[in-house]
Each structure stands twice: as structure tokens, then as C-alpha cells.
Amino acid sequence: MQRLARSFASLLCLSTALSACAVGEGTPQQDAGRLDSGRDSAMDAVANDAPSIDSTTPPVDARTTDGATDTGVSTSCPLGQFRCGPRCVDIRSDPMHCGECDLPCVGVGGAVGTCVNGACVSTCMTNRGDCDGNAANGCEQDLTNSAAHCGACNRRCNLPNASSECRTGRCALLACNPGFADCNSNAADGCEQDTRTSPEHCGACVVSCARPNAMGVCTAGSCSIASCNAGFGDCDGNAANGCEQDTNGSNAHCGRCGSACTIANGTGGCAGGACRVASCGAGFGDCDRNAANGCEANLARDPANCGSCGNRPTESCNLADDNCNAVCDDTAGCRTAVHRSLHPSTGEHFYTTSLSEAMCCGFMLEHANFYYLYAAPAPGLVQFMRCIAGSKHFYTADPACEGTIIEGPMGYIAPSPVCGAVALYRTVHRSNGDHFYTTSAAERDAAVASGSYISEGIAGYVWTSPVGM
């Protein structure tokens, strides 16, 4: 507080009563008295602290003629100066008595102190900076090698996409980060090019992704094709030669890479980047005029294009698929049902196309519509004869009933599995002569396994449905 009061008094004296403070206007005692009076008047409100100038002991004049200290009394100081100890000083500019006696103006931490108008002004040395704003530690920052304060406070040495270092107050680029490059040789903007994605600097500054008939793209530092020009394709997967393939007329790459102009069930050709049907194979037709599915119509299996495009014939009872729906004779009236009965007292199995007969004369109906025969002759069919051997019926494709009594044809049977026909197995009872017929191989095997029946093979082929198969 003493130092503040003394400084304030000195400055107040300078600004308001410089003539009263000046030494040399009267006797030494009068000058000292005026200095004390002026300071005391200025400091009454601050502190009762007298200045450091002694008013009773005459100061020693430092001026001598032989270099030795002169002990004579002299109080003379130039106008605007104060006596501080043995010397007259200008407290407005003296670095050792700045604003008051014995108050040095010394720079701290890389700073140079300069006394200006009685105030100590700190100025940073070259390459030093007061970057924390704290005058107490002066110019604490070395600006020559600080990454945060390179050449100036708060000027960071942190170049984009690079490792950098502050050298002699300048930010130096050491190395680019992986995937980046300094392609403009300007360290100020660091490693400005992303060589992972730049089509002009792909993988390195001098590599361009420009490609024939294509737009190149850089991905992970490697050139690839972003898109091809119309009518071209990158069909070999080699980005170096761009989009090398003309897809307008190539049968192997028609319209796009890998799209071979291959026509289903026919021969095609590529024109204007589109695949067209040149011809159809035997039995097929391009009935919808759509080259994408080729010759799509199977003329032997398509009811809407049966035999030729647009042809829709009707079905007949001829063991053929007349309407090309993959079903044989799918029309009513072609086949007749055969019913199976059993006589419980004689053990005879009886087969007839008459349901009333199947339940007549002591017979019990086992299976109505057990299987089906054709009611009328058809290509490839033979008569299935109903015969009597002894007292029991049996059935055979032999028109002579194998030398037994002929009752007549029951219908028409197939000698081979045509039009969905299944085997009709024939067995005979060892003791009573009963002929047992079944379409089930399991039922036949059970009858034979019982020891009562002997297998006689296949009587022919019959149907299990009245239509189709």
C-alpha cells in the first residue's frame, strides 16, 4: 500500500503541481518542503506515507571532478526530475525508478520492461509471447517451437491431414496422414488431397481415374468405374481399359455386361442392345412375342397354343393329351367303373360294371368304383373278358377266356401303363379257385403271404380315376 501511495503521489505531483515539485526554484529546504507538501496534499485521502526523499539531510551531488564521490551539499535537479538517493531521476521514464523511487521496471519471463509516463510497460522479446494473459509470468511462451502458439499466440501448428512441427516460429509439414497427399506443394493447407477418393489424385498425386467410355471413381485409393457411357460396358472387370465393350450388338453382352442373347428353346440375336428371337426350336413357339422368355410356348403342353400358337383343340377319348394340358383324356364318358364284391359263403370275388349286380345274389359290395376300364375301343386298348371257370368268374385279356366259358367283354384294358394306367394284379386261391384282382401291390402281397393265394402276375393296366391321369 505504501508503494501504491507513493506512486500515486508522484504522478499527482507531476500532473497538478509540477512547478511546486521542481527542484531548483528555491533553497534545498524549501524545494524539499514543497515536494513533501505536494505529495502529502495528494495522498491525504490515500495514506499518510511520506515520499522517500529526505528533507533534513542534504543529498550528495554525484557530480565530481575527479571521479570520487563529492560530499558537498547540492539539492539541484533538472525540472521534472526527482532525487532518488544520490541521483536525480525522471520517474516517468527511468527503468529503475518507474513512477516512484526504487520501483524498477523489469521484464519477466522473456519480456523487456519499459517505463512509459511513469508506468511499467512490458514488451515481449522476439519469438516470445504473453499467451496466457497473465502479466505476472511475463512472456511465458516460446513461439519458436510451440504447436499451440507457433510464431504467434494461439496460432496452432496443426496442418490438415498431416503431422506437423513448429520450427523457428513456422509450421512445417513433416508427413501426410495415410490416404492424403500434398499435391499442390503448399504446406499452409497441409495434405489437401484425399487420395482415397479423389478421381484426379487416386492413390497418388499423379494418378488420374479418367477412363475410356466411362466415368471413373476413386475408392480406397484405387480407380474403378462409376458408370459407363451409353452403349458401353466394363465387361472384363478391368478398370484400366474403361468400358471396353459395345453392348449394342454383342450377343455375349447384349444391352449390358453378361447379358448373353440366349433365347429359351430357340436362337436369338442382339440389335440395338436388345435381344430378339431369330427362330424357335421344334415343338416350341414365341407365342407372346416376348423375347425375354424366348420361345416360351411348348406346343405339346400349352392348352392355349396346342400344336401351334393360338390353337385350342378339344379333348377326345383316345389315350392322348389332345388339348395339351398334360392330362390324358380329361373328359367325361371315356371310362366306366368296375365294382368289387365278395360272396361270404363261397369266398368268390366278383367284378362287374353294374352296381346292382355287384350287390346281387348273395354278393356283398367291397369296393364301389374299385377301378376303371374304357367303355369303348381306343387306340392301343384290348378287350377285358369276363369268363367262368367251373362255378367262379375270372377276368382276362385273352379274347378266348383262356379256354373257359366266355361271358363277354367287361370293357377295354391297356396292355401297358399308358395315360396314367396302373397295374391290375391277378391271384388265384389255392383250393377254391377264386380269382382275386387288386390295384394294390400291398394287398396282393398280403393275400400271397397268407398262404391262400398264388400270384398270377399282371392282368393288364387300368385307371383309378374316371377322367384324366
| Pairing mode, strands 141-142 and 162-167 | unpaired
The whole-number pLDDT of residue 431 equals 93
Our measurement of the distance from residue 309's CA atom to the centroid of its chain's CA atoms, rounded to an integer in Å, reads: 48
DSSP E strands, 93-203:
111-116, 119-124, 128-129, 141-142, 162-167, 170-176, 180-181, 193-194
Q: Is 127 helix (H, G, I), strand (E, B) or coil?
A: coil
The three three-digit cell numbers of residue 257, written as one number: 455386361
C-alpha to C-alpha distance for 235 and 241, rounded to whole angstroms: 10
Q: Is 187 helix (H, G, I), strand (E, B) or coil?
A: helix
* pTM above threshold 0.85: no
Full DSSP string of 240-268 = GG-S-EE-SS-SSSSSSTT-----TTEEE
DSSP E strands, 324-469:
335-342, 349-352, 364-374, 382-389, 392-396, 405-413, 422-429, 435-438, 453-462
C-alpha to C-alpha distance for 336 and 118, rounded to whole angstroms: 136
Q: Is 35 helix (H, G, I), strand (E, B) or coil?
A: helix
Q: Where are the domains of the chain?
A: 2-104, 259-312, 335-462
CA contacts within 13 A on the Cβ side of 432: 13
The whole-number pLDDT of residue 75 equals 66
pLDDT per residue, tens digit, the chain (469 aa), is: 334 334 433 333 333 333 333 333 333 333 333 333 333 333 333 333 333 333 333 333 333 333 334 433 346 888 889 899 899 999 999 988 998 999 998 877 788 888 999 888 888 888 898 898 887 888 988 889 888 899 899 999 989 999 999 998 899 999 999 999 999 999 889 999 999 999 999 999 999 999 999 999 999 999 988 899 999 999 998 988 999 999 999 999 999 999 999 999 999 999 999 999 999 999 999 999 999 899 999 999 999 999 999 999 999 999 999 999 989 999 999 999 999 999 999 999 999 999 999 999 999 999 999 999 999 999 999 999 999 998 899 999 999 999 999 999 999 999 999 999 999 999 999 999 999 999 999 999 999 999 999 999 999 999 999 998 8
